């Protein structure tokens, strides 16, 4: 009986029926696509392949189209991105703070957490510290130190001591709750129905509370296709940043000037060779499965990350960074509501145009990046969070990684800023290419021999992050294409997505650098942003209806539905 009922949205829903606990998704049962949904996998491959072929064979057309998109489509939807992310933050904290909603468990009521709190936090740390952090830990504070809305308005002088605190206020705005509430909500929407209602661990299941068994058909296929394409584009940005910094690091440790082009970015040859090595290694890691390659590399990542952080804390400007951490967090929390809802408008003045461009280059880019990355990170977080209460889940997923990002930004970036303010760096850090600023900081901070050694360790850390990001993304894509099932032995598909990711990153970097990938990602993330909005509505409905069911004695989990006798027994 329980398997045949679904969510009811009509007028007569007090008490509502038990939740939908069966969402069949057709998968092929033989041949090349055995265990896969061909309706999702084939269109996803075609769309990604067409984007790659377009960039490779029609680079002029691609470049012109991206330029037009950058000035029209992106600016048109900038308000949508800004207000959507603000709504996601409000939804997350609302679910956590509402007493009865926060007590609901991601799984049956009596289920214990699958991982200890320490292990869970460690895995969240791994998700929160990655390629982007290594690039932007120095790059973003230094960028806002040189230019931010306050400097554009003329109230502060660029690269002055007064510009430091606002630089971190805007840095925290981008790397704090906005990012992690987006990931948390996507993960909660997936994990809640997967572990309470035994629905497949895939994107479409998160919309079942809204649309019921409709998600088994074409609508569900479209949702998963959009998620796969968004994931590829989101990971491509991360990989692009990582490859640029990886090449800069190789140049710093003496691997040759041929690695860097005349413009100071990675040369085409360096990009191609790096991608062959890195994506090749990530594909091999993905073929070995989660238990071997990814687990081993994740442990290495954490060890090297802590070692690098301790180095900056001890040898760098540790006290200055910790002071920035305290003041920065306070400024961020006080200004968060206003900054989250601020949308700059071009009123025809040079100042307003500069403010709009700053928001497009930073906030809108980040909001789109987090949304595009959300299927990947959200599914990972959902996998490791079974058994947590909604409140513990949201606070853990949002607060712990945000704090780790803040620590990295202030300790590492603070050292770079302090070296510039004191005159020791003399512009060698702030004027360097963003991908090279971390290595430039090490070169100023340490003796040449030690700087080269530490730079070599950073290159290794970058390599492990690049590999784990790529192989994890490939496995998540295979899970979506496989209707929520693990990747199994689908080797040919792993090879395809590894090659697709390499070609996507390489073609876009060579076509127009990291800006080409950024623009493509912002556009590609747009369809999934509407899915995320529906996921927010869906998880609110799922939680509210489960609370109503509990009040009227109607089962709320798959296990309870199996044992239910159909009688309504209102709770005391």
Q: Which one, of 445, 443, 419, lies nearest residue 253 by Cα?
A: 443
State the number of CA atoms in the 13 A half-sphere of 522 facing the CB. Answer: 28
* Per-residue tokens: 132: 């982007």
What pLDDT is stored for residue 59 in this prediction?
Answer: 79
The interaxial angle of helices 437-445 and 218-252, nearest 10 deg, is 30
What pLDDT is stored for residue 12 in this prediction?
Answer: 46
Q: How far apart are CA 339 and CA 322, in angstroms?
A: 24
Buried b (16+ CB within 10 A) or exposed e, 384-405: bbbbbbbbbbbbbbbebbbbbb
3 state SS of 505: helix
What pLDDT is stored for residue 288 in this prediction?
Answer: 64
Q: Which one, of 551, 571, 522, lies nearest residue 237 by Cα?
A: 522
Residue pair 483/202 in contact by the 8 Å Cβ criterion: yes
Give per-residue pLDDT as tens, 261-270: 888 888 999 9
The Cα-based distances of 290 to 100, 208, 372, 461, 466 in angstroms read 35, 28, 22, 19, 16
Residue pair 465/137 in contact by the 8 Å Cβ criterion: no
* Per-residue tokens: 280: 């090749």
Give per-residue pLDDT as tens, 508-559: 888 777 778 788 888 888 999 999 999 999 999 999 999 999 888 889 888 8
State which residues of the chain have pLDDT below 70: 1-15, 126-129, 286, 288-299, 486-490, 565-572
Give per-residue pLDDT as tens, 177-192: 999 999 999 999 999 9
Q: How far apart are CA 338 and CA 358, in angstroms?
A: 17
- Cα Rg for the chain, rounded, in angstroms? 24
The Cα-based distances of 161 to 87, 164, 167, 418, 419 in angstroms read 34, 6, 10, 9, 12
- Please give the helix or strand (H or E) that residue 304 lies within, else none: helix 295-315
* Per-residue tokens: 247: 């090449």
Is cis: bond before 15, omega within 30 of 0? yes
Q: How far apart are CA 94 and CA 115, in angstroms?
A: 25
- pTM for the structure as a whole: 0.91
What pLDDT is stored for residue 6 in this prediction?
Answer: 43
Q: Which one, of 547, 552, 548, 549, lies nearest residue 568 by Cα?
A: 552
What pLDDT is stored for residue 11 in this prediction?
Answer: 40
What pLDDT is stored for residue 291 in this prediction?
Answer: 45
Q: How far apart are CA 381 and CA 114, in angstroms?
A: 12
What pLDDT is stored for residue 552 in this prediction?
Answer: 86
- Which residues 6+ apart lie within 8 Å of 69 measured at CB? 519, 523
3 state SS of 266: strand
What pLDDT is stored for residue 3 in this prediction?
Answer: 43
Q: How far apart are CA 56 and CA 322, in angstroms?
A: 46
Buried b (16+ CB within 10 A) or exposed e, 193-229: bbbbbbbbbbbbbbbbbbbbeebbeeebbbbbbbbbb
- Which residues 6+ apart lie within 8 Å of 444 measured at CB? 419, 424, 425, 428, 429
CATH node for 56-561: 1.20.1740
What pLDDT is stored for residue 296 in this prediction?
Answer: 64
**Which residue reads 């889940």 in tokens?**
393
* Per-residue tokens: 157: 């002088």
């Amino acid at each position: 009986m329980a398997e045949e009922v679904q969510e009811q949205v009509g007028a007569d829903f007090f008490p509502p029926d038990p939740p939908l606990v069966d969402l069949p998704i057709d998968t092929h049962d033989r041949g090349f696509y055995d265990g896969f949904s061909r309706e999702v996998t084939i269109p996803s491959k075609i769309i990604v392949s067409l984007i790659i072929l377009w960039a490779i064979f029609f680079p002029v057309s691609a470049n012109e189209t991206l330029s037009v998109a950058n000035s029209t489509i992106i600016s048109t939807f900038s308000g949508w991105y800004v207000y959507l992310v603000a709504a996601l933050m409000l939804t997350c904290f609302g679910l956590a703070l509402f007493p009865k909603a926060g007590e609901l468990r991601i799984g049956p009521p009596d289920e214990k957490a699958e991982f200890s709190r320490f292990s869970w936090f460690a895995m969240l740390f791994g998700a929160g510290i990655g390629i982007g952090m290594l690039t932007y830990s120095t790059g973003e504070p230094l960028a806002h130190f040189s230019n931010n809305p306050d400097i554009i308005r003329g109230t502060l002088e660029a690269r002055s001591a007064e510009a430091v605190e606002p630089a971190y206020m805007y840095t925290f705005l981008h790397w704090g709750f906005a990012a992690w509430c987006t990931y948390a909500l996507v993960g909660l929407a997936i994990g809640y129905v997967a572990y309470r209602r035994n629905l497949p661990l895939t994107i479409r299941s998160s919309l079942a509370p809204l649309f019921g068994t409709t998600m088994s058909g074409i609508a569900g296929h479209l949702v998963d296709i959009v998620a796969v394409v968004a994931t590829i584009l989101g990971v491509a940005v991360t990989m692009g940043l990582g490859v640029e910094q990886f090449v800069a690091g190789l140049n710093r440790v003496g691997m040759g000037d041929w690695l860097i082009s005349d413009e100071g970015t990675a040369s085409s040859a360096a990009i191609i060779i790096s991608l062959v090595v890195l994506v090749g290694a990530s594909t091999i890691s993905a073929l070995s499965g989660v238990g071997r390659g990814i687990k081993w590399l994740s442990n290495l990542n954490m060890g090297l990350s802590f070692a690098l952080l301790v180095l900056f804390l001890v040898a760098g400007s540790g006290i200055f960074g910790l002071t920035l951490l305290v003041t920065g967090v306070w400024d961020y929390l006080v200004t968060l509501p206003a900054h989250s809802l601020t949308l700059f408008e071009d009123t025809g003045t040079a100042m307003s145009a500069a403010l709009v461009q700053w928001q497009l280059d930073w906030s809108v880019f980040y909001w789109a990046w987090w949304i595009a990355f959300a299927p990947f990170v959200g599914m990972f977080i959902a996998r490791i969070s079974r058994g947590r209460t909604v409140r513990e889940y949201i606070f853990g997923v949002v607060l712990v990684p945000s704090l780790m990002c803040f620590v990295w930004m202030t300790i590492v970036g603070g050292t770079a800023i302090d070296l510039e303010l004191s005159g020791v760096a003399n512009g060698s850090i702030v004027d360097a290419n963003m991908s090279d600023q971390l290595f430039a900081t090490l070169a100023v901070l340490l003796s040449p021999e030690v700087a080269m050694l530490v730079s070599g360790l950073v290159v290794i850390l970058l390599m492990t992050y690049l590999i784990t990001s790529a192989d994890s993304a490939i496995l998540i894509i295979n899970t979506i294409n496989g209707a929520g099932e693990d990747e199994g032995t689908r080797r040919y598909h792993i090879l395809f997505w590894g090659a697709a990711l390499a070609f996507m990153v390489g073609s876009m970097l060579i076509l127009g650098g990291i800006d080409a990938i950024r623009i493509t990602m912002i556009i590609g993330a747009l369809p999934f942003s509407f899915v995320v909005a529906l996921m927010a509505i869906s998880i609110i409905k799922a939680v509210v209806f489960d609370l109503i069911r509990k009040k009227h004695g109607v089962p709320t989990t798959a296990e309870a539905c199996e044992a239910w006798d159909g009688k309504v027994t209102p709770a005391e």
